[in-house]
Structure 1
Amino acid sequence: MPRILIAECKQEVSTFNPYLSHYDDFDISYGAAILDVHRGLPSEIGGALTVFEAAGIELVPTYSARSITSGGTLGAADFRRIADEFLAAIRSAPPVDGVYFSLHGAMASEDEFDPEGYLLAETRKILGESVPIVTSLDLHGVLTDRMLQHNDAITAYHTYPHVDFYDTGVRAARLLLRIMSGEVKPVMAKVEIPALVRGDELITATGLFGRSIRAAQALEQSGALAAGMFIGNPFTDVPDLRSNSFVITDGDAAAAEREALQLAADFWQVREHLHMNLTSLSEAVDIAQEITSGTVIFADPADATSSGASGDSNAILRALKDAGYQGRALMPFVDPPAVEAAFKAGVGAVIQITIGGQMDSRFEPLPITARVRLLSDGDFINESHGSVWHGGITAVLEAHNYTLVVTSRAVSLYDRSL
């Protein structure tokens, strides 16, 4: 019975976050516990498991480090600990016929700008060149030469917002089995694109970027082993940060290079449209003041915890208060001292605190008076994966017409379960 090793290491960082992330910001699992976490979930490993188990593969789960949310640059000692544990688990595994890794692609530590590439290179030293490795990645990953050198093949998300975690794992698992059987001999090509993009045109279902993804999918449907686009995380400021196209074919290097170049050229032609026209905060407040019904959404991507920011900007709240905005508003914050004060006072108490500016020195703490409406342990089951996320102890505060959801640790906010 063929034997496949499974391992996972996933984190996306913002190098602009003034706070480092640490080992304790990861959920760590070993051995069979990894399968217990993912089996039945719409995750990459969950998808891969359905393929491997249907094929009668003996699974060798080794190590999983999943960041609780995106965060700041990973501390050097913290990455060293994760890497040591990751590689030790691989060394202690029995001989295997193939390897499936679930990685993100946008990690960075204080002294390693390409953690995924490092883990892949060290894995090669342990297992040798003859054992095929296939890795699934986020399309916001930073695709490096070292990552490609030590992979036999890769797959990447084809959706943004991401909804194809499971399918990406399925594609990786199927490709690994084909490589192991000798059915295909993958060759990979990537083209570097000197562009960083953001905005609504990246929504694959409706935006221009969707054309690039559909072109990559068409290549897969017409015989390419894998194809896709990486647009990087603009907040992961490392030397290899850029956009990339990639194509993997069965032994046809010229075709892989030709098609990857075409994907890159088409992307390049529309690059100027792949940016969001931003609205100034003062103008946005004026718009909100003029609207008498419906909902106005303020998006602050630079402070998005789902991209690794600290989540403690109070600029929008301050602007609304200064303008005397009388409508209702719902706002998230990361502010441990405010949460601690709420827990000390209890539900129903009125407290005088400051909000925001506790971590990022660009923001001054804003004094407010608030009533403690609700207290929580901050654990919730997210709808995207069905796994448990941890926001730390959490308080819901009512400050006049503003409802503030205040967590004690950063947690991704795109899931309404919070």
Structure 2
Amino acid sequence: MPRILLVECMQEISSFNPLQSGYDHFAVQPGEALYRQAGLNTAMGGALEVFRGAPGVETVPAYGARAGSAGLLSRAGWARLSGELVQAVAANVAGVSGIYVSMHGAMGADGELDPEGFLLSEIRRLAGPDVPIVVSLDLHGILTDRMLRQVDGLALYHTYPHVDFADTGARAARLLLRLMARPAPAAIVRVVIPALVRGDELITKSGCYGDLIRECQRLERDGTALAAGIMIGNPFTDVPELCSQVIVMTDGDVARAQQEATRLAEEFWAQRFRMQGKLIPIGRAIAQAKTMAGPVLFTDAADATSSGASGDSNLILHALREAGYDKRALAQIVDPGAARAAHAAGVGATIDVTLGGCHDKARFPPMPVRAQVRLLSDGRARLETMRSGLEAGPTAVLTYDNTTVVVLSRSVSLFDRAMYYSVGLNPRDFDLIVVKSPHTEHHMYDEWVEKNFNIDVPGATSANVKALGHTICARPMYPLDEDIAFTPAPQVYARRGTVP
């Protein structure tokens, strides 16, 4: 009976978040606890459904670890996490016929800037050269040379905002089953593109990036490629191989893989100017919002916790107060001190606290407010799309003037309405809503707000990538550098035999 080893390790980091993350940021699922993802819209959940439907296949769950986006993983956290994962693989790898690994691709740790490459190298060492390994990755991942040298196949997200988590895991699982049944030579070709991109043109349903992704999907669906995708990296993960890249995998037809990867890379490069963030100054946005019937959305992509920011930016709240915005405003912020003070005072109390700047004081000076405690919670919620849990720690709803703020103790993904709903707040009841995410699914806000303002304020995940201060990634790199010449140079990776 074929036995498939299951492994997961997922985190995305911003190198520009001054607060490091740790082991405690991860939800760890050792052994059979990994099966709790069955039925969830996660890559592992999708893979489990395929494997369970494959006759005669046995799965061997080794280790799972998932963390929300945050700052660089601490040295101690990385040592414990990687040690546990490698130990779990070593204890379960004997006799397996294939290995599925679910990853994000934009991890970064103190002392190891290619954590996924390290882990895949260790898994390959333990498994030996003949066991096929297939990995699934976020399109915001950074696929490195070391990673590609360990794997036999891959599957990449095709949607942004991401909704195809389970679908990607299912594609990875089907590819692994194929490689196990037909261990013929296969080639993975990549073309590295020296460009960092951001902005609305990356929305796959409507943007030019989505047009290119649909070409990748076509290549997979019509049989031209076993896998295809365009990874745009996470521009906030400042690591040596940060870039955009086209990936095409074929069943030995390396010439066709090179041809398609080159074509897609050239089309992507020609549109790099369009794929940049379009930002509006905060003062202008507020002035316009005052005159609108609303509601309006203020997108604080610069403090996007789902991209690795600290979540403690108060810049929009401060600007609204300074500008005298007097309609109903709703926002979220990470501030464990303010949440702790609210819990100590109790519902109904009036407290003098500061909001924001608890982690990133250099960007966000703490803002004093006199607020009323309206509600207290344990900070538990469930994401709308993935249905996976959120643990924001002690949470409070504070009100001051015309503003309602959900104060969280810990950073969690805020790319939907989960943390608003969890404390009984409906964004539709407000005139202005702040969302700490570059994009959300269309129905969540854009479908019903009068205008979505992408606010230009500083932060660890600002779409103004030139202002972030990259020091590690390869240069030249657009838009960090201008007048860059680009000639596609396909790189071929083939682990199994000789590719024609």
Normalising by structure 2, what TM-score?
Answer: 0.82
Which residue of structure 2 aligns with residue 108 of structure 1?
Answer: 108
Runs of 5+ in structure 1 lacking a partner?
none
How far residue 290 of structure 1 moved from its aligned partner, in angstroms, is: 2.1
Where does residue 474 of structure 2 map in the other structure?
A: none
Partner SS state of residue 286, structure 1: helix
- Secondary structure of the corresponding residue to residue 105 of structure 1: coil
Maintained 8 Å contact 1:179/1:185 = no
**Offset of 1:110 from its aligned partner?**
1.1
The two structures, once aligned, show a CA RMSD in angstroms of 0.9
Q: Within 5 A, what are the aligned runs for 1:89-238?
A: 89-93=88-92, 94-182=94-182, 184-223=184-223, 224-238=225-239
1:71 aligns with 2:96: no
CA–CA distance in structure 2, aligned partners of residues 366 and 183 of structure 1:
61
> What code does the residue aligned with 1:246 have?
I
* Number of the residue aligned with 2:290: 289
1:128 and 1:233 map into 2 onto residues whose CA distance is: 31
User: Does the CA-based 8 Å contact 1:7-1:63 persist in structure 2?
Assistant: yes
Separation in structure 2 between the aligned mates of residue 49 and residue 64 of structure 1, nearest angstrom: 13
1:84 aligns with 2:83: yes
> CA–CA distance in 2 between the matches of 1:227 and 1:183?
19
SS of 2:415's equivalent in the other structure is coil
Report the equivalent of 2:251: 250
Q: Deviation of residue 127 (structure 1)?
A: 0.8
**SS of 2:347 mapped into structure 1:** coil
Q: How far does residue 50 in structure 1 lie from its aligned partner after superposition?
A: 1.4
- Identify the residue that residue 6 of structure 1 maps to in structure 2: 6
Aligned to 2:444: none
Q: In the comparison of the two structures, how many residue pairs are matched?
A: 415
Measure, in 1, the Cα distance between the counterparts of 2:200 and 2:91: 46
User: For 1:269-320, what per-residue CA distance to the aligned partner results, in whole angstroms no more than 9, with x for missing partners?
Assistant: 11100112211111111112222x1112111212111111001111111111
CA distance in 2, matches of 1:42, 1:186: 29
TM-aligned CA deviation for residue 380 of structure 1: 0.9
Q: 2:468 aligns to what?
A: none
Q: Distance in 2 between matches of 1:26 and 1:50?
A: 24
Partners of 1:381 and 1:319 in 2: how far apart?
Answer: 31
Q: What SS is found at the alignment partner of 2:374? A: strand
Cα-to-partner distance string for 1:367-406 (whole Å, 9 max, x where unaligned) = 1011101100001122222121101110010111000001
Higher relative contact order (CA 8 A, sep 6+): 2
Query: In the TM superposition, what are the counterparts of 1:222-371 in structure 2 within 5 Å?
Result: 222-223=222-223, 224-291=225-292, 293-361=293-361, 362-371=363-372
Q: Distance in 2 between matches of 1:149 and 1:254?
A: 19
Q: CA deviation at 1:415?
A: 2.3
Distance 2:278 2:32 in 1: 47
Measured against aligned partners, the alpha-carbon deviations of 1:91-115 in whole angstroms (never above 9, x if no partner) come to 1013200000000000000111110
| 2:375 matches 1:374 | yes
CA contact (8 A) 1:178 1:184 kept: no
Q: Distance in 1 between matches of 2:264 and 2:374?
A: 52
Query: Take 2:368 and 2:44, find their aligned partners in 1: how far apart are those partners?
Result: 45
SS across alignment from 2:20: coil
Q: Could you tell me how far 1:412 is from its partner in structure 2?
A: 0.7
Q: Which secondary structure state, in structure 1, belongs to the residue aligned with residue 273 of structure 2?
A: helix
Alpha-carbon distance in structure 2 between the residues aligned to 1:49 and 1:185: 26
The offset of 1:184, in angstroms, is 4.6
**For 2:169 and 2:395, how far apart are their aligned partners in 1?**
33
CA distance, structure 1, for counterparts of residue 383 and residue 78 of structure 2: 26
In structure 1, give the amino acid aligned to 2:17. Answer: N
Q: Displacement of 1:163 after TM fit?
A: 0.5
User: Which letter does structure 1 place at the counterpart of 2:74?
Assistant: G
Following superposition, the deviation at residue 81 of structure 1 comes to 0.9
CA–CA separation in structure 2 for the residues paired with 1:395 and 1:132: 48
In the alignment, the residues of structure 1 paired with residue 186 and residue 330 of structure 2 have an alpha-carbon distance, to the nearest angstrom, of 50
Alpha-carbon shift at residue 222 of structure 1 (Å)? 2.2
Aligned partners of 1:213 and 1:229 also within 8 Å = yes
Whole-angstrom CA distance in 2 between matches of 1:283 and 1:71 = 30
| Residues 1:245 and 1:11: Cα distance change in structure 2 (over 3 Å) | same
CA-to-aligned-CA distance 1:125-177 (integer Å, 9 cap, x gap): 11111000000000000111111110101100000000001110110000000
Judged with a 3 Å threshold, the aligned counterparts in structure 2 of structure 1 residues 399 and 10 are, in CA distance, closer, same or farther, namely same
Q: In the alignment, what sits opposite 2:400?
A: 399
Q: CA deviation digits over 1:56-77, x for unaligned, max 9?
A: 311100001110x110000012
Which letter maps to 1:98? G
Match of 1:273, SS state, is coil
In 2, the alpha carbon distance for the partners of 1:116 and 1:267 equals 26
CA distance in 2, matches of 1:354, 1:269: 47
Q: State the one-letter code of the partner of 2:66.
A: R
Aligned partner of residue 92 in structure 1, secondary structure: helix
| Identity value in percent | 54
Equivalent in the alignment of 2:431:
none
SS in 2 for 1:66: strand
Alpha-carbon separation, structure 2, partners of 1:184 and 1:346: 65
Partner of 1:46: 45
Report the 3-state secondary structure (helix = DSSP H, G, I; strand = E; otherwise coil) of the residue aligned with 2:298. Answer: coil
Output aligned runs, 1:27-42, within 5 Å.
Answer: 27-35=27-35, 37-42=36-41
2: CA distance, partners of 1:101 / 1:184: 21
What's the offset of the Cα at 1:185? 3.1
* Cα distance in 2, alignment partners of residues 231 and 351 from structure 1: 44
SS of equivalent residue, structure 2 residue 418: coil
Offset of residue 183 of structure 1: 6.0
- For 1:239 and 1:395, the matched residues in 2 are separated by 40
Structure 2 Cα separation of the partners of residues 216 and 11 of structure 1: 25
Is the partner of 2:47 in helix, strand or coil?
helix
Deviation, 1:54, is 1.1
Query: How far apart are the structure 1 equivalents of 2:382 and 2:274?
Result: 36
Q: Hey, what's the Cα distance between the residues in 1 that align with 2:4 and 2:127?
A: 12
Q: Please give the alpha-carbon distance, in whole angstroms, between the structure 2 residues aligned to 1:135 and 1:240.
A: 18
Quote how far apart the aligned CAs of 1:265 are: 0.7
Tell me the SS of whatever aligns to 1:126.
helix
The 1-side partners of 2:100 and 2:298 are apart by: 40
Query: The residue matched to 1:59 in structure 2 has which SS?
Result: strand
Measured after TM superposition, the shift of residue 416 of structure 1 is 1.2
**CA distance, structure 1, for counterparts of residue 391 and residue 90 of structure 2:** 31
